[in-house]
Homo-oligomer: A and B are copies of this chain.
């Protein structure tokens, strides 16, 4: 740990312990210099960290002040879905979310797109631009089916950060993480099979179950520790489950990261019942603290975990670049990849390989993660200030999405009414096979500016209006 980090961590603990109340002035730069025996610039760097995290604010000529911090939120209750295999519905809701081109003027809080406005993406844009000008068979023709060896090498190196030992030949490049997930599901199942999923769960995977004629077994999921292993064990005894599909790190939509012990236990359980695990790690690199969490795959000893990821949440969704480490299913996955899209576009692969190799990927991650963390603090504060007191809010460990529970409120209708006012959210029903979570919604916090504040205010107003209407109906 660097010196400034030690100072920042200590001061952060004091802030969180309540030693400084909102509005309190922090000690002048000189005090920590003496206390920690460090230079002025070290303390300045530490204060800048705290400022970036939204914990303190600098006022010209007055020093640093503690900010009003988000109250520790009420977490959503652990989910209790119907514990039997169900067909997946909700396509109409998903379609209306994913088939809208980003309209100018509409605040897309329901979108799953990351922040792409930073300068740290510029080297990637430059590479893409340069490589697309080049002519030659290696840029123009079909790529090899497995994908570029340059990118696979970089991915294998990156995997070390999540404790995952991968060789470049263990990786197959795909057209986005969605193709990786879709290939994994189609590799492991036949129509009529049952797949166990966390709940709420990513709608892209769930719709793949629908397209393949599968049934989803939604399992109780804790908003801090993930899928219930106890419920999973019972389900594995009771149903012929072909695969377990989870997003254990910076979960979409709940934001939690399964603790290591539970990840390890999940692998052991899968081994005991001889079931494959599909691990969606597409938000995995967006950790608020270093090192990033380990993957489930990192405890996989017999190749039963199919690790799926991509660059749509860390770089740009429009590139459609993802990958899969399919373990023992490599041959079948290669066949599925071939029939799905043939091969993957080459230039984005080469550009991202350059971006990683030059260190720009990690630089970009540091930049966006700091920004997401600051935005999270701000947005949590705004929600607590604006929303009803009984609003439950998730507590993300990484990524850029937040899950809200508004007991008794119809969030499909809320969204319909908000869209009229230029604000879009993702209704909770999207994240359930059977339309559960109707009183929940997902928003992103890729931005936290005046427009987002105004959008949240409009949401809060609409929530108040709908609750009033509801009360009038009940009393009338």
Binding site for B on A (CB under 8 A): 91, 94-95, 98-102, 111-113, 116-117, 121, 125-126, 128-130, 132-135, 137-146, 149, 175-176, 178-179, 182, 186, 190-191, 204, 207-208, 210-213, 312, 316-320, 334-336, 338-348
Contact = CB atoms under 8 A, between A and B. Distances in A.
Contact of A113 (B101, B141, B175, B320): B141
B135 A340 contact: no
7 contacts: A98-B145, A175-B341, A204-B338, A210-B335, A211-B339, A317-B342, A317-B343
Given A125-B134, A204-B342, A207-B339, 6 more contacts: A175-B175, A175-B345, A176-B341, A191-B191, A211-B339, A318-B345
A339 B204 contact: yes
Contact of A345 (B98, B146, B210, B320): B320
A81 to B, nearest CB: 21
Contact of A135 (B102, B117, B335): B117
Contact of A95 (B95, B143, B334, B343): B334
A123 B344 CA distance: 23
Nearest to A144: B101
Contacts of A132: 125, 128-129, 132
Contact of A338 (B94, B102, B137): B94
A102 B339 CA distance: 20
B95 A145 contact: yes
Given A112-B142, A141-B318, A143-B318, A98 B343 contact: yes
A191 B191 CA distance: 8
Contacts of A140: 113, 116, 316-318
Contacts of A312: 142, 342
